[in-house]
Amino acid sequence: DGGITQSPKYLFRKEGQNVTLSCEQNLNHDAMYWYRQDPGQGLRLIYYSQIVNDFQKGDIAEGYSVSREKKESFPLTVTSAQKNPTAFYLCASNPRGQSNTGELFFGEGSRLTVL
């Protein structure tokens, strides 16, 4: 079945460590996104990519990095520079172009906890 797969679902990190969250999609979508969700708050955009080898900062990019070497993959690295990384991270995609209705397709999320 087509969809977005995020891994791992749960991740624990010690302070000072970098961690990478995986996001893979087989929907053939051009655009991919990373959002952060904190309790009682809406989603906030970290980074997005409209095409391979290109990505743009969102509203809260500091302390995060991404790459887009393949259309199917958009990994997010949470670096030690991110001061408050404990959160629920959501990856999403949409097709762009004429087939784009603006709807985002989401993965199931990755919950990162800093110990």
Least distance to another protein, CB of residue 95, Å: 11
Binding-site member from 23, 64, 94, 114 for another protein (CB under 8 A): 94
Q: How far is the CB of 16 from another protein (least distance, A)?
A: 27
**Among positions 24, 52, 67, 106, the unique one binding another protein when judged by CB under 8 A:** 106
The residue (of 80 and 109) whose beta carbon lies closer to another protein is 109
Q: How far is the CB of 101 from another protein (least distance, A)?
A: 6
b/e string for 55-64 if b means 16 or more Cβ within 10 A? beebeebeeb
Find the binding residues for another protein in span 11-70 (CB under 8 A): 31, 33, 35, 40-45, 48, 50, 56, 58-59
Q: What count of Cα atoms within 13 Å lies in the side-chain half-sphere of residue 82?
A: 25
- The whole-angstrom separation of Cα 115 and Cα 110 is 16
β-strand pairing of 110-114 with 10-13: parallel
CA distance 47 to 50: 10
Structure tokens at 107: 């993965």
Residue 42 CB, shortest distance to another protein, in Å, is: 4
Give the bridge partners for 10, in sequence order. Answer: 111
Q: Contact residues for another protein (CB under 8 A)?
A: 4, 6, 31, 33, 35, 40-45, 48, 50, 56, 58-59, 88, 90, 92, 94, 100-109, 111
